[in-house]
Amino acid sequence: MARVVVDVMLKPEILDPQGQAVVGALPQLGIENVRSVRIGKHIEIEFDGEADLDRAREIADKLLANPVIEDFTLRVEELEEADR
């Protein structure tokens, strides 16, 4: 088994009201030095056998992210022997 991790984030120019809501809540925790919070999605794709980056990129581009408003990054995650 192999795991590919996809991180999907709103493009920098797209407003993230969810992140803004978190920033707005931080003073209640006594935290005053946070300028910005942006919220995205972290997706773990597990393949039978070897990590198939091309396939993972296709999944991310067609389904997981909307390229109009979101960017994504891909990386292969090394698994511990016990997880394989």
Contacting residues toward another protein, per CB under 8 A:
10, 13-15, 17-18, 21, 63-64, 66, 68-69
Whether 34 contacts 26, CB under 8 Å: yes
Q: Which is nearer to another protein, 68 or 82 (CB)?
A: 68
User: In 3-state terms, what secondary structure has residue 3?
Assistant: strand
The dihedrals phi and psi of 69, each to the nearest 5 degrees, come to -125, -10
Site of tokens 């493009």:
11
Q: Which is nearer to another protein, 21 or 79 (CB)?
A: 21
Shortest Cβ 39–another protein spacing (Å):
10
Closest CA to 57 of 30, 78, 37, 67: 67
Shortest Cβ 80–another protein spacing (Å):
29
Shortest Cβ 12–another protein spacing (Å):
12
